[in-house]
Chains A and B, each alone.
Chain A
Amino acid sequence: MLLRLQGISKRFGRDWVLRDLSFTLERGEVVALLGPNGSGKTTLLRLMAGLLKPTRGQVERAGKALFLANPPAFHRHLTAREHLLYDLAFHHQGKEPEEALDRFGLPGDLPLYAFSSGMKKRLALARLTLLFPDIWLLDEPETALDKGGRELLLSTLAEARKKAGVVLATHDRTLAERVADRTLELGVA
């Protein structure tokens, strides 16, 4: 067991976004999170990451979790290489970012304000492969990616499945069918 949610409910103000939800994620599993806008996909991912606390219920994590926001968040005045180096240092990891930059086709010396949204998405994936968490929580990772980017996403997911567990929220059913071992459908509460 990598991640377990038990009887999770989350309320913002007076509105319940999630109600009494239970879920388990094992290592080597990719789970697709489906549902219309406003069904609580992002909220659920943030709860899994520990960025939000459930109003009721319990979240247990047996490893490190990282959350990929949509759109991904970066400091715009850093270059891609600098950003990755700082991220690695904050996570106590002594890896080199060069290989990942090459693999994802990213210019290391360009400041991020010059990056397109697709390039930022690639950078976010590069960041994840470097930090390599046990629990990957991805919010619509396929958006803004071109064909090459999509291939990279698929290969990254294949890599993640070998050693970790993945939950990805998406509207892309073909992607979900292609990569996910199972799906979790959220309705509007």
Chain B
Amino acid sequence: MLKVAQPDRPDALTWVFLGLGLLLLPVGLYLALSAPPDVNQGYLARIMYLHVPGAWLGYLAFFVTFLYSLLYLFRQDPRHDRVALASAEIGLVFMGLALVTGMLWARPTWGVYWTWEPRLTTTAILFAVYVGYFLLRGAIEDPELRRKAAAAVGILGFINVPISYMSVKWWRSLHQTQSIDLTTGKIHMDPAMLQALLFNLFVFTLLYLGFVRFRSLLAALEARKEEA
């Protein structure tokens, strides 16, 4: 669904994704705000309607970058690189959203903005990898070398995810002074809450697909201009 033929303007499918996503965004917001508050956390739990889809799509986006980076190295087709680039950029936005909302939620819940919990740490590492990904792209003038180098970073960065997750998990389990645990943040899911969450996830996915297609097209136009 991410493969885009490269015309001058976005094709119908891109507009459908974007239009539907933007149209449904207020609906998702309404569902989120009208969902019942959580038994333990009250209204605070509502941040999850932004946080969960953000984190989920951030990971999905970086995984897509990983796949398309591999594909680029095997096929040497610039289109794959453009999808990888688009997905990384949008992933960075979603991941940033997830990190910020997570911190805002953590402060009243745990009393701190940050904790060295495996999922948090791994996410922060991944975020740093893709900041590096864009700095590297900016530093290379030759388009082909830029694509290859970026693909290498996209691949090496993503295969690091399970290893860093394990390492931080073990690291913490030996460190008993930590009192904060994600389990204290458990939310009892009311069906209405779950519905709202899934709906928001769906809307964010639509937006992601639309943005990636749109951004790939922009990258193609940029490349064409660079060549002209």
For residue B141, which residues in chain A have a CB less than 8 angstroms away from its CB? 12-13
| Interface presence of A147 (CB below 8 A) | no
Decide if the interface of chain A is mainly helix, strand, loop or mixed. loop
- Asked if B144 is at the interface (CB within 8 A of a chain A CB), the reply is yes
Interface residues on B, range: under 10
B residues in contact with A12, CB < 8 Å: 141-142
Instruction: Write out, one digit per residue, whether chain B residues 211-228 have a CB within 8 A of any chain A CB (1) or not (0).
Output: 000000000000000110
Cβ contacts under 8 Å, A13 to chain B: 141
Closest to B226 in A: A14
Give CA–CA (A11, B141) in the complex, Å: 11
0/1 string, A3-37, CB within 8 A of B gives 1: 00000000111100000000000000000000000
A53 touches B144 (CB 8 A): yes
Alpha-carbon gap, A46 to B226, bound state (A): 23
Question: How many A-B contacts if CB must be within 8 Å?
Answer: 6
Q: In whole angstroms, what is the CA distance A13 to B227 when docked?
A: 8
* Total interface residues in chain A, CB < 8 Å: 5
Q: Mark A81-104, 1 if CB is under 8 A from B, else 0.
A: 000000000000000000000000
Chain A positions within 8 Å of B226 at CB level: 14
Using a CB-CB cutoff of 8 Å, which residues 118-170 of chain B contact chain A? 141-142, 144
* Distance A13 CA – B226 CA, assembled complex (angstroms): 8
What is the minimal beta-carbon distance from A24 to any residue of chain B, in angstroms? 25
A14 neighbours in B (Cβ, 8 Å): 226
Question: CA A150 – CA B142 in complex, angstroms?
Answer: 37
Q: Which residue of B has the minimal Cβ distance to A52?
A: B142
A9 to chain B, nearest CB (A): 11
**8 Å CB interface, A107-134 against B:** none
Instruction: Tell me how far the C-beta of B167 lies from the nearest C-beta in chain A, rounded to whole angstroms.
Output: 38
In the complex, the chain B residue whose C-beta lies closest to that of A13 is B141
* CB of B7, distance to nearest CB on chain A (Å): 22
In the bound complex, how far is the Cα of B226 from the Cα of A53, in angstroms? 17
How many angstroms from the CA of A12 to the CA of B227 in the assembled complex?
10
Whole-angstrom distance between the alpha carbons of A11 and B228 in the complex? 11
Question: Which chain A residue lies CB-closest to B227?
Answer: A11
Chain B 21-51 against A: per-residue CB contact (8 Å), 1 yes, 0 no? Answer: 0000000000000000000000000000000
Q: Smallest CB-CB separation from A53: which chain B residue? A: B144
Q: Which residues of A contact B144 (CB under 8 A)?
A: 53
A14 to B225: give the CA distance in the assembly, Å: 9
In the complex, which residues of chain B have a beta carbon less than 8 angstroms from the beta carbon of A53?
A: 144
CA distance A53 to B146 in the complex (A): 13
Neighbouring B residues of A11 by C-beta, 8 Å: 227
B76 nearest CB across to chain A (Å): 10
Residues in chain A near residue B142, CB distance under 8 A: 12
Q: List 5 A-B contacts (CB under 8 A).
A: A11-B227, A12-B141, A12-B142, A13-B141, A53-B144
